[in-house]
Structure 1
Amino acid sequence: MPEPHLRASDTDRAAVATTLDRSLADGRLDLAEYEDRAARASAARTYGELAELTADLPRPARTEPRRSPVHQAVHAGAWHGAWGHDLRAAWTGWLTTAVIVVGIWLVSMLATGDLQYPWPVWVLGPWGVVLLARTLGERRGRDDDRRRLTA
């Protein structure tokens, strides 16, 4: 933490409250001690006051280093776009819908005994074209970002 005499923000108090919550859940604090420390954290004005509340608690291990937005976009993977879009979920939704509408179409054809117009094309076609364009566009954008970073 910064110098103990500096004033703490609401975000700093919330971070200490989160540490206290984890410590209660882990069994490091009993309920009375947790309530006392949580109340003191809400009323704390300086970093020093906040540091006293967690001095005897282990520091949580940092799971992943922070990265710049460009770095995150480049390393987001084949299915995640630069803005956090989850293409895997979008394609899964499309595939699920495809199975349902084609299934309905096949059952209705079997029930009537004659070949029916393939109406699922109008549900799946435009949606699939948009998803494909989005997928290709995001991959092209990631490739451009990679080239910029390595240049």
Structure 2
Amino acid sequence: MSQGGVPDPNLRASDADRERIVEQLRQHTADGRLTMDEFEQRMSAAYAAKTYGELAQLTRDLPVDLGARSRGAGFGPPPPQDAPPWSGSWPRTGVSDRPGSGNEIVDALVGAAMTWKTQKIAAREQLRQQRYQARLERRANAPIASGFVGWAVLSALLTGIWFMAGVTSSSGFSDFWPIWPIGILGFLTVLKAIKTATLRRTLTRR
């Protein structure tokens, strides 16, 4: 629910809401209100935002306040189709927009720089996802039987130590203490095998 036309900060934001905020941040960067580092940080935060409240924090110190926009307005109307690049909602006064003017060149350079930053962030995120997927595939392809073989070898070794200690001891055989490490390691081995099998099924369904 919203009060006074202001969206509830706890409501979930859509992809279109995030894109509109990023476009506003690009406009403010072109106008000199934000540095490139600030734009990159806020852009990453905008794409990671889940609610209107999180998006509102990104524009609190800028002329357009997300928290003061009605939800129905979609956080501000988009710029006119025939508006010059980076025109946004703030008209410029006393600045020439003639083709080839210095202001137009600066806008083009800033736009190219921000596009490169956006592509860099997207490529970094894609690489992170690929590495994560590769780790999952390695875990899923790990042989389950090898874990049980290692457990069996260790169990035999501990049992042999207990047996030799009982043979050489004057008091004879003591309590079978290897049952504790054998049991714990066996439980962990079974748990790992179940996780690996579940991961294999999950990856196969994708």
TM-score relative to the length of structure 1: 0.39
**Structure possessing the higher radius of gyration over alpha carbons:** 2
Q: More helix by proportion, 1 or 2?
A: 1
Q: Compare relative contact order (CA 8 Å, sep 6+) and give the higher one, 1 or 2.
A: 1
